A = this chain, B = another copy of it.
Amino acid sequence: MTFATQLNAAILRTGSVTCVGLDPRLEQLPKPLRESVSENRKDSVAAAYTQFCCEIIDAVAGLVPCVKPQAAFFEQLGPAGMVSLGEVIAHANRAGLIVITDGKRNDIGSTATAYADAYLGSAEPERSPWGSDALTVSPYLGRDSLEPFVEVCDRRAAGIFVLVKTSNPGGGYLQDLSVDGKTIYQSVAELVTELNKSRLDADGYGPVGAVVGATYPEQLVELRKAMPHSILLVPGFGAQGGSADDVRAAMDSNGAGAVVNSSRHIIFAHKREEFSVAADESNWQDAVRAATVQMNEQLKG
């Protein structure tokens, strides 16, 4: 089964388009985990990240189709963090969650293949070292930097999400520049659609997804149409300002074809008063689960 087929099936099975972003930060961990860290040592922080992310995975398994670990926060801890990232991905695989590693990688030729080899593929015998089902990639180096990723997707039933229109305030600096009436993000969207051709599953989806921020609702509508074969990964919901009405435009008529990421609002839900977490924050996992159910409900509408 291809990556797109699997992800759309997981959306329909869970009745959810929520993607839980795993962005651990030491200072925001629940108290029991923060206090388990000795002297701010990197290996000790990494162990706390592993426990934190694995407990989140246990809390949300069955409620959502996928999780998205943010590589940067693990890399920040050095090699110990990369060991943690591998453990977290493996735990999510075992819990039946699809894993999108957010690494925004890219390079040219055989170097791009090395990144694809490293991250893409969760199933034996082609399981990759990190074991994720998909990876986010940057398009600045052009078409020939994306093709090596797509070839590995073909072999390993994996996916990529190409940055098309990002959610940050300055995202438009290059992405919105307009060439003969066509913006850069529209050019990237065309490339994404071309790469999917000849790779479509029975529902018309291919392995090349796209990142489109919820913070630009008009472009989300436009890009949903421009990339009919792409699953959209939509960041920027909630904390960054995108509303539920905004992001529903990303889904297809089956309510699939897109996943909406939330990181802080879910993983640090113990900081949200509405979930009445105990003073010692020992029941923080309940808040994670409640925040996930709440987001699922918001996105149904």
Contacts and interface: CB of A to CB of B under 8 A. Distances in A.
Nearest to A82: B82
Query: Taking chain A's interface residues, is the majority helix, strand, or loop, or is none over half, making it mixed?
Result: helix
A163 B140 contact: yes
A203 to B, nearest CB: 29
B117 A76 contact: yes
- Residue of A111, A163, A188 most packed against chain B (CB within 10 A): A111
Interface string A77-90: 11101110110000
B188 A104 contact: no
B142 A173 contact: yes
A171 interface: yes
Interface in A230-262: none
Nearest to A167: B108
Interface residues on A, range: 35 or more
Interface in A144-199: 144-145, 163, 166-175, 177-179, 184, 187-188, 191
Interface stretch (A51-59, A67-75, A92-100, A266-274): A67-75
Find the residue from A112, A143, A171, A173 having the highest chain B CB count within 10 A. Answer: A173
Nearest to A235: B108
Contact of A118 (B76, B102, B130): B76
Contact of A78 (B108, B129, B166): B129
A118 B172 contact: no
A187 B191 contact: no
Contacts of A91: none
Given A77-B129, A78-B129, A145-B168, 14 more contacts: A70-B107, A70-B111, A72-B112, A78-B130, A81-B118, A108-B168, A138-B140, A140-B140, A140-B166, A141-B166, A142-B173, A142-B174, A145-B170, A177-B187
What 9 pairs across the A-B complex have the smallest Cβ distances? A78-B129, A142-B173, A144-B170, A142-B170, A72-B114, A108-B168, A82-B82, A75-B118, A76-B114
Interface of A: 23, 42, 70, 72-73, 75-79, 81-83, 85-86, 102, 104-109, 111-112, 114-115, 117-119, 129-130, 138-145, 163, 166-175, 177-179, 184, 187-188, 191
19 contacts: A72-B112, A72-B115, A75-B115, A75-B118, A77-B118, A78-B118, A79-B86, A79-B129, A104-B105, A106-B138, A108-B166, A108-B168, A140-B140, A141-B163, A143-B170, A144-B169, A144-B173, A178-B179, A184-B184
